[in-house]
Structure 1
Amino acid sequence: MTISENTSMRPSNNPTDIRDDWDEHWSHLDSAASANPAQRMRHDIIRRLLQEEPPTAIRRICDFGSGQGDLAIVLTSALPAAEFAGLEMSRYGVEVSRRKVPTGAFHIANLFENHPDEFGLRNWATHGTCSEVLEHVDDPKAFLERCRDYLAPNARLIITVPGGPMSAFDRHIGHRTHFSQQSISALLDAAGYRVERTCLAGFPFFNLYRLTVILRGRRLAQDVSQQNSGLATRMARMTMAVFRLLFRANFLDTPFGWQVVAIARKQR
């Protein structure tokens, strides 16, 4: 996760407040995130979209907000010929990512402070990914404008952002806003991208999953804060296992999905 330079996004001094402290976030949530069926669904969608192109296509993938490397595992396994770079604000996330995917190039980076030349990545990527990042950023337009510096001309950018209602847990982990097809399209257009398509994924079972998160609200946030290892409770693990099975029946695009996906191109 890479966030803005706005002072309101500096890490909290409260050790249980993980809103914008991304080392704290990933040290708490690494294992739970890896087991999260919603994350797996998003990563599978990104993989499928990248595999729409011929197997011989050149792919240099830059993941903006690469977290603790789970998307990198999926993409480097599915696309072994691809080169992969990840930009992440959390030192913990980068260290874990490097262990998970030794072939990837992961960098501790704040897009508002660092520049692509520091990493040898100016206009490097033929493909960009940005999964569940923009909702955490005070100025997502400026963030996307800075992503352009890492992307080659006409590079393809795949984004996932949350739609639907925002829960107390979403606020606890730093969500500023949720998106619609219209709002993500307008944002990408304003930041200098040409939107190819958007879709609303996840209906019906992702919506049901999200409703359970909304209903648990503050209690879920408290449970996460109290888990020093970040592991889900036994009941939560059982619930996620059930949802992983149900998610196989989710639709990629309907008018009702709460997972917003956008595919765009960098305009010259």
Structure 2
Amino acid sequence: MGARTRTAPHLYRRVASCPGPGRCHHLSICWVAEECFMESEVISSCNLCGTDPVATIDAEHHLCQCTECGFIFDSPRPTFAEIQRFYSEEDQYDAWLAQEASRDTLWRRRLKRVLKYRQAGDLLDVGTGIGQFLSHAQRHFRVEGTEVSDNAISIAKSRYGFDIHQGQIEEIQFDKQFDVVTAFHVLEHVPDPSAFIARCRDLLKPGGILIIAIPNEIHSKVRQGVRAVLKVAGIGKFKNYGKHTLPKISLEGTLTEIHLSHFTQKTAAYLMKSQSLEIVDMALDPYYVSGGIGAVVHKVIYATARLFHMVFRHNLYDTMWLALQKPSVADSQKPG
């Protein structure tokens, strides 16, 4: 993956009300806030297939797309050092803590799905945040987690007693392989998706299961129309994620995030297959924690999207769930 690093304060415009990185809620990456991210890098080739050059499809929002495989990504984008600083801001996880009780439902729901594939063994949660998923998973697995944020690691220790590995998964050394590796809404944040998936695969035991949940960025006039109606109705919060122009509805408050990559079903499948992983399941990932009318509305949206997916095998939902399997020793020894 070609990348050039530069200082680029001109990428972002300052507005008087912007409080700075980690506290600005104008957009997920605040492209209206100059100096929130001073160090940027330019990506000159596709991370998935290596195509060079790539096409700029939205210069204003720094959005590029590979002309071969269709992968969509940000360029220029903040460097990893900037991203780590952003997620280590003291108040970055305030919204997570405020929603801790309601998020328990989300983590229990995800754990129940993981248990369909494996019921025990060693589990690694990559990008574990404050450790809430691990607190549930430890009832069934021997658990470990990784995280880049100093603040999240501190919270995981004080809240749940976990000693979380700090850093990027590609750089952390482990003394064993795992039966299950999970990465819930992490892949879209990492600088090198191919290296990330390759490392997750290598950390699996033969026949092990990798669970990935990511946003689903599809080009659908129907979906955009539904979003427009919901926006007019005041049901959803309409915003751009990661400086890109593929709009997304958020019913869950003002969490700020940095999305560097934007996957569709097609590009996600391409990435997984390129890393010799078998797709066991590709489904919807219900990602809602709100209560009251918001929960009812989101459940209706999810049920409708799930029915459409079952009939047409096309995901119109905001997120997707991938269950992937590393080849067993016997499978890897079969002639090609």
- Normalising TM by the smaller chain, what interval? 0.5 to 0.7
Confirm or deny: 8 A CA contact 2:165 2:172 kept in the other structure: no
Q: Which amino acid aligns with 1:164?
A: E
Query: 1: distance between equivalents of 2:167 and 2:185?
Result: 17
Query: 1: distance between equivalents of 2:321 and 2:165?
Result: 25
Instruction: Note the 1:35-54 alignment, pairs <5 A.
Output: 35=99, 43-53=107-117
112, 116, 131: which one aligns with 1:69: 131
Confirm or deny: 8 A CA contact 1:142 1:191 kept in the other structure: no
Matched residue of 2:317: which SS? coil
1:16 aligns with 2:20: yes
* C-alpha displacement of 1:69: 1.4
* C-alpha displacement of 1:22: 3.7
Query: 2: distance between equivalents of 1:107 and 1:113?
Result: 10
* C-alpha displacement of 1:93: 1.4
232, 240, 252: which one aligns with 1:168: 240
Q: Which residue of 2 aligns with 1:198?
A: 282
Query: 2: distance between equivalents of 1:186 and 1:38?
Result: 34
Q: Which residue of 2 aligns with 1:33?
A: 96
Q: Which residue of 2 aligns with 1:132?
A: 185
1:110 aligns with 2:110: no
Q: Which residue of 2 aligns with 1:89?
A: 148
Which structure has the highest strand share of the two? Answer: 2
Q: Which amino acid aligns with 2:143?
A: F
Q: Which residue of 1 aligns with 2:320?
A: 260
Q: Which residue of 1 aligns with 2:266?
A: 182
Confirm or deny: 8 A CA contact 1:23 1:92 kept in the other structure: no
Instruction: Quickly say closer, same or farther: Cα 1:187–1:40, change in 2 above 3 A.
Output: farther
**TM-score, length-scaled by structure 1:** 0.67
Instruction: Quickly say closer, same or farther: Cα 1:40–1:246, change in 2 above 3 A.
Output: farther
Query: 2: distance between equivalents of 1:25 and 1:258?
Result: 23
Instruction: Quickly say closer, same or farther: Cα 1:241–1:33, change in 2 above 3 A.
Output: farther
Structure 1 spans left out of the alignment, 5+ residues? 210-236
Q: Which amino acid aligns with 1:93?
A: A
Query: 1: distance between equivalents of 2:133 and 2:6?
Result: 24
Larger radius of gyration: 2
Q: Which residue of 1 aligns with 2:72?
A: none
Q: Which amino acid aligns with 1:48?
A: K
After superposition, what is the alpha-carbon deviation per residue over 1:193-247, rounded to whole angstroms, capped at 9, x for unaligned? Answer: 1111101344xxx6xx8xxxxxxxxxxxxxxxxxxxxxxxxxxx9x765424544
* C-alpha displacement of 1:185: 1.3
1:153 aligns with 2:206: yes
Q: Which residue of 2 aligns with 1:101?
A: 160
* C-alpha displacement of 1:160: 0.4
* C-alpha displacement of 1:261: 0.8
Matched residue of 1:243: which SS? helix
* C-alpha displacement of 1:59: 2.6
* C-alpha displacement of 1:134: 0.9
Percent identity, aligned pairs only, is 18
Confirm or deny: 8 A CA contact 1:136 1:176 kept in the other structure: yes
Query: 1: distance between equivalents of 2:279 and 2:113?
Result: 14
* C-alpha displacement of 1:53: 4.7
Confirm or deny: 8 A CA contact 1:36 1:240 kept in the other structure: no
Confirm or deny: 8 A CA contact 1:134 1:161 kept in the other structure: yes
After superposition, what is the alpha-carbon deviation per residue over 1:15-49, rounded to whole angstroms, capped at 9, x for unaligned? Answer: 82246434543532323134289966753442121
Confirm or deny: 8 A CA contact 2:201 2:210 kept in the other structure: no
Q: Which amino acid aligns with 2:91?
A: H
Query: 2: distance between equivalents of 1:246 and 1:67?
Result: 27
Instruction: Note the 1:233-248 alignment, pairs <5 A.
Output: 242-248=293-299
The number of residue pairs the alignment matches comes to 218
Matched residue of 2:168: which SS? coil
